[in-house]
Chain A
Amino acid sequence: MTDITFNTAADAPQKPPKAKRKPLLKLLFGDLLSAFLTVLAVLIILGLIPAFNWAVLDAHWVGGPAACQGGGACWTFIGAKARLILFGLYPPQEQWRATIVIVLIVAMVLVSLSPKLWNARLLLVWAVAIAAMLVLMGGGVLGLDYVPTSKWGGLPVTLLLAVLSLGLALPLAVLLALGRRGKLPVARAISIFVIELVRGLPLVGLLFVAAILLPLLLPPEWTVDKLGRTLAALTIFAAAYLAEVIRGGLQGLDDGQIEAAEALGIPYWKMIWHIVLPQAIQNVIPPLTNTAIVMIKNTSLVLIVGVFDMLSAARSASTDPAWPAPSTEAYLFVAAIYFIICFSISIYSRHLERGVAARTHG
């Protein structure tokens, strides 16, 4: 077959190397393809007008369930049900405790943003903060009323699951990665087996495994509640993926660093803690934050095994027969919260990456 288009292109006048800035009109309608694309983009935007009408112009912003008749989004529903979506079944008079937990998590994350503060003391503060959060949520001591985990729900559960699973997974992941890269064949075999097995399974499957299999594997007197089992599954899952990321960081490390440390007679764990890990982790900050975002998104899957996180709360809120089935609005609200969390992390990750680049190249 002959190639027709090629000849016409060769006959066309020689284009100068791409100019710095073309006028907007020429960019939009400069040649046939651009004009076509402009028309296409405008058509897509026009196609979105009904959605815009639904969400803004025809929407209902005030009033009760009765006001939400006809087409259009029912945003009053979000106002009425925000408490249920954000806090789930948590007892309303104890709600301040759940609010403090949210504030505490956000504050701790904000404090930890600055790389200057990353040291052993920060780890200690985190441990104390997490203990405080669990005490606040659960109660039963210090004169706080006991709230069973079955009553926990909404945003605090989502945030706690994300923070705890990532926090518990990181040390496990370091061990798995070191095991996989290490010289001991047994440790290597175990690490490879665990990592590949977990990565081969979908998280939903793993959640089922934890929900159904864990009570069978453990002695009858060790009862782990639903939240604990879910947390175990999320932790193992995060550990397997983080282990592969950290392994990448370890592989990127110059062998000379380890050889020099060994030559100086530095003990193995000291070498790992002071020399290997800081460099290895710095190398893999972008994939680490990516995995963190993925894990935060994954906490929404606990809905499938019946844990009452923000998404399940939104789903059950929208089944209230008093309202005309506003599930779309409820999911949009949850989506917005997830978007804010995940998007801020990705912006922060870009900022962090620039910092690392400036220190290594500058």
Chain B
Amino acid sequence: MQIALLGGLVLFVWWLAGNTHENLTERGIRTGFDYLWRPARFPISESIVRYDASDSFFWAYVVGLANTLWLSFLSILFATLLGLVVGLSRRSAHPLLSRFAGTYVTVLRNVPLIVQLLFWYAIATSLFPVPREALNPLPGVFLSIRGVYAPALTLGPGASMLLIVAAFLMVIAIVAGFKVSAGKPLPAKAASVGLFLCVWVVAIVWLSGMLGHPVGLEAPALKGLNFRGGMVLSPEFAAIITGLTIYTSAFIGEIIRGGIDAVEKGQWEGARALGLSERHIMFRIILPQALRIIVPPMTSQYLSTVKNTTLAVAVGYPELGLVVNTVINQTGQAIESILIMLAVFLSISLSVSAFMNWYNARVALVVR
């Protein structure tokens, strides 16, 4: 039985390889990875690392990967925060709020993500006003048909040095926050980390002032027909980040609500009997225990969010999937490109689950 299975598999793979070889020679497609070092000669519309068309195919992949990671990081971060709000709202005794959150979750979970992305993209590119009449929901932030404009950091001479110092100090601030609040419940930890970060911000602003303001904020301003200055998010990026965040937050909200519901009822009753307020029960007794239940499903949700970023193809944001597709169209080297994409996504999956497993082991109940 085993031998037959193994033999069949070997034959099957051999047959596939033979076909592939025949097809490749017939179409005159070269194989091998040396194409990676040739210049790519195609544009990538936006990226967080520097790219121009004379860079190599390898660098194009890196640019796509950087965009994927940036998109994943932002949408996971925003979706987790929004999801916490949604989950807690659904659990709350407040009728308006819980109905509202319930509708939000039901609607968003039952409509495909790609439909939502195209919907947001359609809104961003057809219903938003021209720059002259741009919506201004927050000071310094403008929504218009050309994209979303927000204040940007401006870097003067000597800024990179200051940024390195700032990053170093931020790590110290976070570590110090956790050290000081070791053994305390979650909100106290958050409060002390927040306090240390405030100190950090003040220190950085002061340092910056001492050095003659190499780092500052620049707000976008309407000049002529468009905005000048500041940071601009393309309609593609704005649509995909909005869509991913909102869609994922509905799922995360349900995971958090499920985790809270799974905590034994006796814990609520016991805490109420002790006269703790509902808020204290939630943040000090229920949430820390729910965290243990929440972490494994949250891991798979984060992973599928990373994989969902490939849907950005639909609105034309150049993440890894779009770059790989363009490369295949340009060079015909499908097998190599797909192997690279496979390797990248498998390593992202494995590292996210490794990190979450480590975190899970930290919060898990220790049975002695």
Docked-complex contact B314 and A303, CB < 8 angstroms: yes
Say yes or no for A355: interface residue by CB 8 A criterion: no
Docked-complex contact B310 and A204, CB < 8 angstroms: yes
CB neighbours of B22 from chain A (8 A): 219-220
Chain A residues 164 to 196 lying within 8 A of chain B, measured CB to CB, are 184-187, 190
Which one of B42-50, B104-112, B154-162 is at the interface? B104-112
Docked-complex contact B20 and A184, CB < 8 angstroms: no
Instruction: Tell me whether A202 and B310 are in contact in the complex, defined as CB-CB below 8 angstroms, given that A298-B112, A325-B126 are known contacts.
Output: yes
Chain A residues 335 to 357 lying within 8 A of chain B, measured CB to CB, are 335, 338-339, 342-343, 346
CB neighbours of A28 from chain B (8 A): 94-96
CB neighbours of B136 from chain A (8 A): none
Docked-complex contact B94 and A38, CB < 8 angstroms: yes
Say yes or no for B222: interface residue by CB 8 A criterion: no
**Set A17, A186, A204, A216: member contacting B24, Cβ < 8 A:** A216
Docked-complex contact B100 and A44, CB < 8 angstroms: yes
* Contact residues on B (Cβ < 8 Å of other chain), bracket: 35 or more
CB neighbours of B9 from chain A (8 A): 186, 190
- Complex CA gap A14/B110 in Å reads 43
Across the two chains, which residue of chain B brings its CB closest to A13?
B275
Instruction: Tell me whether A328 and B126 are in contact in the complex, defined as CB-CB below 8 angstroms, given that A209-B338, A300-B114, A300-B115 are known contacts.
Output: yes
CB neighbours of A184 from chain B (8 A): 1-2, 5
Chain A residues 287 to 336 lying within 8 A of chain B, measured CB to CB, are 293, 297-298, 300-301, 303-304, 311, 315, 318, 325, 327-328, 331-332, 334-335
Nearest Cβ on chain A to B130's Cβ, whole angstroms: 14
Say yes or no for A117: interface residue by CB 8 A criterion: no
Sample of 9 more A-B contacts, CB < 8 Å, known A54-B127, A311-B114, A328-B123: A6-B280, A34-B94, A41-B100, A45-B100, A201-B307, A204-B321, A205-B345, A297-B112, A304-B114
A36-51 Cβ-contact flags toward B at 8 Å (1 or 0): 0110111011000000
The interface residues of chain B, by DSSP majority, are classed as: helix
The interface residues of chain A, by DSSP majority, are classed as: helix
Docked-complex contact B119 and A202, CB < 8 angstroms: no
Nearest Cβ on chain B to A261's Cβ, whole angstroms: 19
**Set A17, A185, A213, A315: member contacting B118, Cβ < 8 A:** A315
B182-195 Cβ-contact flags toward A at 8 Å (1 or 0): 00100010011001
- Complex CA gap A231/B95 in Å reads 44
Instruction: Tell me whether A205 and B94 are in contact in the complex, defined as CB-CB below 8 angstroms, given that A6-B280, A218-B19, A343-B106 are known contacts.
Output: no
B113-142 Cβ-contact flags toward A at 8 Å (1 or 0): 111101100110011000000000000000
Nearest Cβ on chain B to A246's Cβ, whole angstroms: 17
Docked-complex contact B19 and A338, CB < 8 angstroms: no
CB neighbours of B277 from chain A (8 A): 9, 12, 15
Say yes or no for A359: interface residue by CB 8 A criterion: no
Nearest Cβ on chain B to A244's Cβ, whole angstroms: 10
Which of B1, B16, B118, B275 has the largest count of A CB atoms less than 10 A from its CB? B118
Instruction: Tell me whether A338 and B118 are in contact in the complex, defined as CB-CB below 8 angstroms, given that A17-B269, A38-B94, A186-B5 are known contacts.
Output: no
Nearest Cβ on chain B to A48's Cβ, whole angstroms: 10
Say yes or no for A215: interface residue by CB 8 A criterion: yes
Say yes or no for B53: interface residue by CB 8 A criterion: no
Docked-complex contact A220 and B311, CB < 8 angstroms: no
Docked-complex contact B272 and A18, CB < 8 angstroms: yes
Chain A residues 211 to 268 lying within 8 A of chain B, measured CB to CB, are 212-213, 215-220
Say yes or no for B211: interface residue by CB 8 A criterion: no
Docked-complex contact B334 and A205, CB < 8 angstroms: no
Docked-complex contact A342 and B110, CB < 8 angstroms: yes
